[in-house]
Amino acid sequence: MSRKEHDDGAGRSRRRPRYSAWSLVRHGLGVGRDWERAFRHHTPRESYDVVIVGGGVHGLATAHYLAVNHGITNVAVLEKSYIGSGGSGRNTAILRSNYLTPEGVRFYDRSVKLYEHLAADLNFNVMFSQRGHMTLAHNDSSLRTMHWRAEVNKLQGVDSSVIDPPEIKKLVPYLDVSPSTRYPILGALYHPPGGIIRHDAVVWGYARSADAHGVHIHQKTEVVGIDVVANRVTGVRTADGRRISAPVVVNCTAGWSTLISDMAGVAMPVQTFPLQAAVTEPVRPFLDTVVVSGTLHTYVSQTDRGELVFGASVDPFASYSTRGSLDFVEGLAGHVLELMPALSKMRLLRQWAGLCDMTPDYSPIMGLTPVEGFYVDVGWGTYGFKAGPVSGEAMAACIANGKPPEIIAAFGLDRFDEGRLVGEKGAAAVGH
Amino acid sequence: MTRRTVGTGDCRLGSRPGEVIDRSRTLEFRWNGAVHRAHPGDTIASALAAAGVRVFSRSYKYHRPRGLLTADILDPGCLLQVGDEPNVRGAHRLAEAGMDVRSQNTWPSLRYDVKAVNQVAGRFLATGFYYKTFIKPERLWPAYERVLRRFVHAGEVPPDGEQLYYDKRYAHPDVLVAGGGPAGMAAAVAAARAGATVMLVEQEHQLGGHLRWGDADDLRVRAELVAAVEAEPGIEVLTDSVVAARYDDNWLAVVQRGLPHVAERLVKARAGTLVVAAGLIERPYVFAGNDLPGVMLSTAVRRLLNLYSVRPGQRAVVVTANPEGDAAATDLRAAGVDVVEVDARHGRTVVRAAGRGGVEAVELSDGSRLDADLLVTATGWTAPTSLLNMSGSNPVYRPDAARFVPDPAATPDTVIAVGGIAGDGTLEELVAHAEAAGREAAARALSLAAAHARIRPTSPGGADAAERAPEPVAPLGLRRHPELFFATPIGGFVDMSEDVSAKDILTAVQEGYDSSELVKRYTTATMGPAQGKLETVNTVALVAHATGSTIAETGATTWRPMYTPVTLGALAGRRFEPVRHSPMQPWHEAHRAAPLVAGQWIRPEHYGDPAAEVRNVRAGVGIIDVTPIGKLDLQGPDVPKLLNLLYVNKWSQLGVGRVRYGVMCADDGVVLDDGVTGRLGEHHYLMSTTSSGAGTVWEWAENWLQTEHPDWRVHITPVTTAFASINVAGPRSRELLARLTDVDLANEAFGYMNVRTGTIAGVADCVLWRIGFTGELSYELHVPASYGLHVWESLMAAGADLGVAPFGVEAQRILRLEKGHLIVGQDTDGLTKAYSAGLAWAVKLDKPDFVGKPELQWQSEHDDHPRLVGLQPLDPTVVPEEASQIISDGGHIVGRITSSRMSPTLGRSICLGQVDAHLADAGTRLTVRLRDGRDTLVEVMAEHAHFDPEGERQRV
Amino acid sequence: MSEPAAAVSTAPPVARTALAFPGPRRIVDGWELTARHATGDLVLADLGPLVKLTVRGPAEGAVRAALGTGFGRTARHDEGALAGALVVGAGPGEWLVLGPAGTGGELLAATRAVVADSGEFASVVDVTHGRALVRLTGAAAPALLAKVCAIDLADRVVPDGSAFRSSVARVVTDVVRDDIRDELDDPAGDGTARTRSYLLHCERSSGQYLADALVDAGTEYGIEVGAPPSAR
Amino acid sequence: MMLLPCPNCGARNVSEFRYVGEAKTRPDPTTATPQEWRRHLYLHRNPAGWTRETWYHGSGCRRYFAIERNTVDNAVRTAGATS
Ligand SMILES: Cc1cc2nc3c(=O)[nH]c(=O)nc-3n(C[C@H](O)[C@H](O)[C@H](O)COP(=O)(O)OP(=O)(O)OC[C@H]3O[C@@H](n4cnc5c(N)ncnc54)[C@H](O)[C@@H]3O)c2cc1C
Ligand SMILES: NC(=O)c1ccc[n+]([C@@H]2O[C@H](COP(=O)([O-])OP(=O)(O)OC[C@H]3O[C@@H](n4cnc5c(N)ncnc54)[C@H](O)[C@@H]3O)[C@@H](O)[C@H]2O)c1
Ligand SMILES: Cc1cc2nc3c(=O)[nH]c(=O)nc-3n(C[C@H](O)[C@H](O)[C@H](O)COP(=O)(O)O)c2cc1C
Ligand SMILES: [Zn+2]
């Protein structure tokens, strides 16, 4: 992996003053200049080597790794709103690698490893808090699935094991582990390297780095068309009437990915579902572990600010609306109190929703498409934030080399035509 | 601890006309350990303020002392711990006798807070601090994080907090009015008079809105309106209740408090029309020192003075840009406070409040400096448009009025805004507008109700109202107001709850976070408890200032529920978690069955010793309650067509009195369910499904019938619990059953895979199937459910001498595994197609069509799919745990154990497992990685069945 | 071929409904029921023993004509083949026929005959033992139901003699409004006084849960459980 | 919560229904190629706008029916309507 400071005529990079306690003190004392912009405004060029549609973690990470790993810097990221306005800015920020299939485990494990060093790599503290991730089992079939995951994980070298109610109670004293509840807790899959992260910081960190390497990030720039000539991508059109030519266009638009693929004439096995989340007002930290219950469709973690962040499974019907529902918060509160009855006096502060691009096998679609130059990195469903780094790295390699690297070989679009689905569905239903 | 008792205080004024306190009574509560007095009607904050308390909390980041700012539910400086309840709004919650009130997160005390050193470090804790520090060395980050978490500014939830009763109900008002100020009351009365049922919801403890703290005229108008509301029987009034959110189609969440015996009640109201009468919220002004205790909004001052008769200070500076500010000055003077009025309509404003722990002096923009202990600002309003915008539309900015107003074009017809939120005017104009809106709201709601009635089958006929198109309500005008958001030089706090300063906003923009949404996320401004109701406009104004664009171009952030934060208890309410029991449940409980939660069903897992239960079945006779098995009654001449479509096997030849095992796949060939179907009569079949698949299969079959084959004559009736189902299994089952039934059980008369109907233990209309999941001679009895317990008890009594004993789900699992019967969902997974499950014998590809055929055709032509096989460990004492992985020499996963048990019958361990195709031949030896990390060898068997593979025992 | 073994004598069959309320029970006509008699203003009564049939057939046509009602409405048959039965239009082309306890055989036969005479493709299934049935009577009944059911129970939506199926405390339930004539409290003296009353009919195994949920919701209105006020 | 107009029962809370999915025509299983079949199984139109779909009224009439819904704002109209 070569890391070069890149400064050619294409993407113009610059040395960026580094963040450190010392820089903070200097600014605090008013010494030195103002803070540098983390990302700049540019006038769009007429052409780029690579146009990435979607300014979420996937698009920005792809841009970052294209520049850093492959020296490809004449790159534009086009974002219709603000960076991180999609799933990347509204997800519950849970990272883990305890998946069910070997290909899944390997892939997400690489991502967790990248996340572990991301703050240093990006010189931006993304606050990855590896506080442990616990998936509760309330019946024997889910307990069996936990064991299945634990066994697969162990074989891939991922720290993951099934623990019993007393151990669960020790880690999360607020959980009601008594056997007399409606959904008794029989055990849990415990995954110490899992945790939460400051999701926006990941987006900003990648954007700042990509910008520093000369990538253009165009916010408020919506792609409304993709030009394809003789089955080859030639460029994109934007809502403000521009045409930007590029031999490579990458679809990193998650919930909206069908719409972008449609523009290139590529049909997708994707359906867009809203996924809701909510936060409470902050209280003093009492929950150190991420707690997930698939049976109760609930997961909860406590941020460093003290608020509880809740999520659930996707809405019961497909939609592009991010309004959210009362049903969701009612069900959520009921299930959270089923798990932790002491929380009834906490207050729900805000609820919101994001869009998830669900695939039939709960696994992503990455790599080439039948249209030359049109790449996809989609199908991230409810679980794609954690995959940001590895996807960026793999997609960058895929674009640089024209073929998907081994780590994403199982995730090609052609698997659906060939009936080779990935077996992740069993474990992923409410896994985040 | 020494206890001081503090009186109701030096700051309490004499009785005033609008006060809401009951001076005839006092009550005591504790504040940080000291006993305080309050009158009923006092909020915690008003009682404390009456006693001269000025500091209520310490701020989030810098631990600055904070006092009252708004003196109502939004007050960011007054979130308190009350007993085990965190973040209680002290300026809203009424004081109650015996309350234990504490300030939050102050150590060692509110007055001397050690973390206040952060104030000194403040200039380095500026925005983005977290992202720019603690990056290296990486290994220290977890320790840093622990320190950061200690600084969280909030209340506490103890692990053993008291459990309260929360309730829910539905409501269907034609018109729901959010806000009980003059506009809301007028709209409610007008709507009710127009024939609508009305729910009027007011967050405060009394109706009246801002009139409550107004002058004599205001109080008179309030009294008239309240009387009019009370005179309307069609209005249901909810006070101390909030419309917390609006969802699709006017589905409204109302949280009601103050009910007897109920902590809170969530009212889920489906309103025809929502009238939003939420009023206006007074906007704080941004200047240096604007968070010092003693800096208050004009409405806060008037609330304290006129509702609670509390004098908020001695020497006040009132910076006012509107009549409400002038009124505050008047009220203060009347209460004996020295007042200097600064008229901000003419360019003079405040630039700084100075003092330690509270306001001592005020600096004005003209450079003058005034001594004061109270600084009152009246610099403008924010429309809390959240209920109007919760569905995504954004309010629009009006520079002339210096506030965001709802966008009427984006408001659906079912929502109407009235009062201050909709515009300005005299009280008479507002009331007249609200009345017109109330009438229109009623008309729209009744029209909608008529439209619904037209398509509803229960309607008695003759719609009770005509449908009509909505008519616009003439809009209110807007009063000019100067744009006063922040003082220059820019200083002070924009978001007091989040401790975000004006400078933080400017820095964020400078760093590239140059839209409202990015600023919000980078600085956390507007993300606290008030959710922007106090902070948004100032934040946007600062962003606009820093980017050189207008406020309108910059735009506000997205409003979302909740309007006011809602407890999880209220949202959860009473939890409806249906459970299902078989008619024999009382017997199981009396016989100490271990309960097994299986979906909604509670079933007996075992009665103490599952292995003994297995042995009893193999040697004698056992009975098991299998009521949850799905049962569908199928009637009609086209049932065979349906069976042929849904099952992979063939059904045309099934004779009356016969049963057959069938497998269902989905259209992708994946195994969906299995079960037995019997033919009871010419056109009458009974289908059984797995217990967990009962609902799915029924809906699945209906889907095929209704959408693909509506011409087929088939009726499906779910009868799962119309029958209690009992499996009588074991070599002596015939002997036992014969004692109770009139059905001829002889093998020749009632052979394997047959069905009969008859009487059992005096109960007619029982269905008997001779099938064998356990691999023994056995009869599955389906008994009219009301008699289930009777038949069960009769079997136990009649078989006592045969050693009959009940067995549970665990014994059944062992028995079926000995027989090699698969369980769908355990031995198969989300990708297992019929051939992988070893069901090739069942798949009839020569049928023209069945669900799943194309994929199964494909699978039959490709040999590379995994296989379900019987497996036996070479060491018979080792039971490889279920889900253990089967690995190749290179450590690759080549399969897994799907089921495993120690077989009491064979005295050895037995398994089913999925393995890769090339390893599926009988005799292949495979390595299994056990949970403890050791490996063990297993051998692939020729059959799934470990016991009696020929099936001799079930045919006798 | 073997002779069927001589049946051992067993206790006479006792039928149990889906519900068991605490307290003493007694056996009436072969059904074990609570011995309590409720006298309060809001009463939940177990009508489990009533005969319950589901009929399926074309939504319009001869079956419908014979049953006397369609989807969403009820018909009480005072005479004719179905005399004594309350027919509920439970769905499009789906009816629930309720008859007095103990009339199972006759009502089933009569209903089958009605269906057979229609010449339409129709079927009858006896679900007497497969369903739970309760009656909730009292002026507070709609307020109670408003806590567990999202349907507006106002007269203009669900008048007397109408029926709907919806979720009640998360159990799919047929709700039938079947007000009871007040014999004793009839101010107008013309037989028009009615007390609100609803029949709730659901799948049997959830019946106890549903009854518990109703009792919980009715506590604030002083709900009592007991034997049915009348045999209807 | 959205109201869904059941053609049989009238407007009911959407929680009473089960979303089945985009209305699709099942290709002739006897002639479809594996690829055509899998496209039927897995591909979706997934439009941002009006779409025709199947719902099941599980807590009510227990009928399957088609409806048109705008996936952007969840507006609903009966199948076949054009406005
Ligand atoms: C509530 C919620 C909770 C979640 N929780 C987790 C979790 O705990 N862990 C986890 O790993 N994952 C989680 N996810 C999933 C995760 O958020 C997503 O999979 C991930 O963020 C996808 O990232 P992305 O960069 O591919 O897409 P996004 O972040 O959605 O970015 C796509 C971008 O494309 C832009 N765009 C769309 N159309 C156009 C166009 N025409 N032109 C220009 N730009 C366009 C959008 O504005 C958007 O910013 C959650 C998702 C949600 C909604
Ligand atoms: N708001 C003031 O302090 C104030 C003071 C003087 C004059 N005015 C003028 O009076 C007019 C306002 O009259 P109005 O009747 O519109 O407002 P109002 O402020 O008198 O009454 C609004 C009421 O709505 C309640 N409310 C707000 N949101 C709610 C919710 N979601 N659920 C339940 N209750 C909720 C508030 O508690 C308040 O009592 C404006 O023109 C304003 O300029 C207002
Ligand atoms: C992990 C996480 C934590 C959040 N915490 C808060 C919070 O403390 N306060 C708040 O107002 N919003 C919080 N939000 C929600 C955001 O305000 C916002 O609703 C969300 O990013 C979706 O954007 P939108 O509401 O602008 O559509 C949080 C979001 C996430 C993803
Ligand atoms: Zn319906």
| Neighbouring residues of A312: CB distance < 8 A, sequence distance ≥ 6 | A275, A276, A277, A297, A298, A299, A328, A331, A332, A335, A430
Closest partner CB to C15 (pick from B717, B743, B787): B787
Q: Which residues contact D50 (CB under 8 A, 6 or more apart)?
A: D68, D69, D70, D71
The pLDDT > 70 percentage for chain C reads: 94
- Residue B727 to residue B626: CA distance in whole angstroms: 7
From B713's Cα to the closest Cα of chain C, the distance in A is 7
From ligand 3's centre to the CA of A207, what distance in Å? 20
Contact B688, B675 (CB under 8 A): yes
C193: helix, coil or strand? coil
Q: Which chains touch A (3 or more CB pairs under 8 A)?
A: B, D
Biggest CA–CA distance in chain B, Å, is 113
Domains and CATH numbers, chain B: 5-149 (3.10.20.440), 166-280+384-467 (3.50.50.60), 284-379 (3.50.50.60), 485-573 (1.10.10.1100), 607-807 (3.30.1360.120), 848-956 (2.40.30.110)
User: What are the domain boundaries of chain C?
Assistant: 23-49+130-183+190-225, 51-128
Tokens (6 digits) for B500? 């975000």
Chains C and A touch (3+ CB pairs under 8 A): no
CB contact under 8 A, D64 and B248: no
User: Rounded to the nearest 5 degrees, what angle is found at the Cα of B318, between the Cα atoms of B317 and B319?
Assistant: 115
Determine the Cα–Cα distance for residues A305 and B151; give it in Å rounded to an integer: 8
In sequence order, what E strands does B654-742 have? 659-665, 671-681, 684-689, 715-718, 723-729
Q: Which DSSP helix (H) or strand (E) runs through B29?
A: strand B27-31
Cα B398 to Cα B221: distance, rounded to the nearest angstrom:
30
How many CA atoms are closer than 13 Å to the CA of B141, on its beta-carbon side? 25
Which of A271, A323, A325 best tests the D interface by mutation, with the highest count of D CBs <10 A?
Answer: A271
B480: tokens are 């000019």
Q: How far apart are CA B709 and CA A364, in angstroms?
A: 36
Asked if residue D6 has pLDDT above 80, the reply is yes
Domains and CATH numbers, chain A: 39-91+199-269+361-427 (3.50.50.60), 131-194+271-357 (3.30.9.10)
Measure in Å the smallest separation between the Cα of B550 and chain D Cα atoms. 29
What whole-number distance in Å separates Cα of residue B384 and Cα of residue C228? 53
Q: CB C167 to CB D16 under 8 A?
A: yes
Q: Do A138 and B515 touch (CB under 8 A)?
A: no
SS3 B693: coil
Contact B758, B766 (CB under 8 A): yes
Ligand 3: residues with CB < 6 A are: A 89-93, 199, 279, 307, 309, 349-350, 352; B 527, 531, 557-558, 560
* CA–CA separation, B280 and B245 (whole Å): 17
DSSP H stretches of helix in C39-178: 62-67, 104-118, 141-145
Pairwise CA distance, residues C132 & C52, whole Å:
10
Q: Given the CA of residue A238, which atom of ligand 1 is nearest to it?
A: 42
- Cβ pair B809, B605 in contact under 8 A: yes
Tell me the three state secondary structure of residue B187. helix
Quick: pLDDT tens for C123-164: 999 999 999 999 999 999 999 999 999 999 999 999 999 999
ipTM of the modeled complex:
0.95
Shortest CA gap D36–chain A (Å): 8
CATH code that applies to domain C51-128: 3.30.70.1400
- Token representation of residue B398: 């009006």
The pair of three-digit structure tokens given for residue B903, joined into one six-digit string = 């077989």
CB A319 within 8 A of CB D74: yes
- What are C115's two structure tokens? 């269906």
Q: Residue A5's pLDDT is what? A: 37
Q: Predicted confidence band at C28 (pLDDT cuts at 50, 70, 90)?
A: confident
Task: Retrieve residue B579's tokens.
Answer: 């459970």
Residues of chain A with pLDDT under 50: 1-11, 32, 427-432
Distance CA B481, CA A286 (A): 47
Sheet strands side by side (includes B85-89): B5-6, B34-38, B27-31, B100-103, B79-82, B85-89
Q: What is the CATH number of the domain that holds D49?
A: 3.30.2270.10
Contact D71 A320 (CB under 8 A): yes
| Residue C5 in this model has a pLDDT that exceeds 90 | no
Point out the residues of chain B with pLDDT beneath 50: 1-8
Question: Structural domain tally of chain D?
Answer: 1
Amino acid, res. B111: R
What are A163-210's pLDDT values in tens digits? 999 999 999 999 999 998 999 999 999 999 999 999 999 999 999 999
Q: Which amino acid is at C28?
A: V
Phi, psi of B660 (to 5 degrees): -145, 145
Examine the pLDDT at C1 and tell me if it is beyond 60. no
pLDDT value of position B117 = 65
* Contact in structure between B401 and B424 (CB atoms under 8 Å): yes
SS3 B706: helix
Q: Tell me how crowded residue B652 is: count the other CB atoms within 10 A of its CB.
A: 9
Fold of C23-49+130-183+190-225: Gyrase A; domain 2 (3.30.1360)
CB A198 within 8 A of CB A115: no
- Strand ranges in B410-531 using DSSP code E only, listed in sequence order: 415-417, 493-495, 500-501
| Token digits of residue A271 | 């359906």
Residues with CB under 6 A from ligand 2: B 178-184, 201-204, 209-210, 242-243, 277-280, 282, 299, 324, 387, 419-420, 424, 430, 563
Nearest to B511 by CA among B952, B127, B217: B127
CA of B264 to the centre of ligand 2 (A): 23
Give the type of residue at A184: P
Which of C108, C112, C130, C102 minimizes the C-alpha distance to C201? C130
What atom of ligand 1 comes closest to residue A352's alpha carbon? Answer: 1
* pLDDT per residue as tens digits for the range B263-274: 999 999 999 999
Q: What is the 3-state secondary structure (H, E, C) of chain A?
A: CCCCCCCCCCCCCCCCCCCCHHHHHHHHCCCCCCCCCCCCCCCCCCECCEEEECCCHHHHHHHHHHHHHHCCCCEEEECCCCCCCCHHHHCCCEECCCCCCHHHHHHHHHHHHHHHCHHHHHCCCCCCECCCEEEEECCHHHHHHHHHHHHHHHHCCCCCEEECHHHHHHHCCCCCCCCCCCCCCCEEEEECCCEECCHHHHHHHHHHHHHHCCCEEECCCCEEEEEEECCEEEEEEECCCCEEECCEEEECCHHHHHHHHHHHCCCCCCEEEEEEEEEECCECCCCCCEEEECCCCEEEEECCCCCEEEECCCCCCCCCCCCCCHHHHHHHHHHHHHHCHHHCCCEEEEEEEEEEEECCCCCCEEEECCCECEEEEECCCCCCHHHHHHHHHHHHHHHHHCCCCHHHHHHCCHHHHHCCCCCCHHHHCCCC
Q: What angle (nearest 5°) sits at the alpha carbon of residue B909, between those of residues B904 and B914?
A: 130
Domain that holds residue D12: 3-81
B146 Cβ partners below 8 Å, 6+ apart?
Answer: none
**Is residue A237 within 8 Å of A226, Cβ to Cβ?**
yes
The answer to whether the peptide bond before residue B137 is cis (omega within 30 degrees of 0) is yes
Quickly list H helices, B232-369: 298-306, 323-334
Quickly list DSSP for B348-373: --EEEEE-SSS--EEEETTS-EEE-S
Beta strands in C37-93 (DSSP E): 43-46, 51-56, 74-76, 86-91
Q: Residues 6 or more apart from B552 whose CB is under 8 A from it? A: B396, B397, B399
What pLDDT is recorded for position B857? 95
Contact (CB, 8 A) for B632 and B698:
yes
Which chain D residues touch C206 with a CB distance below 8 Å?
none
Residue B952: partners with Cβ closer than 8 Å, 6 or more residues away: none
Residue with tokens 């934040």: B539
Provide the β-strand partners of residue A248: A50
Chain C residues lying within 8 Å of D3, measured CB to CB = none
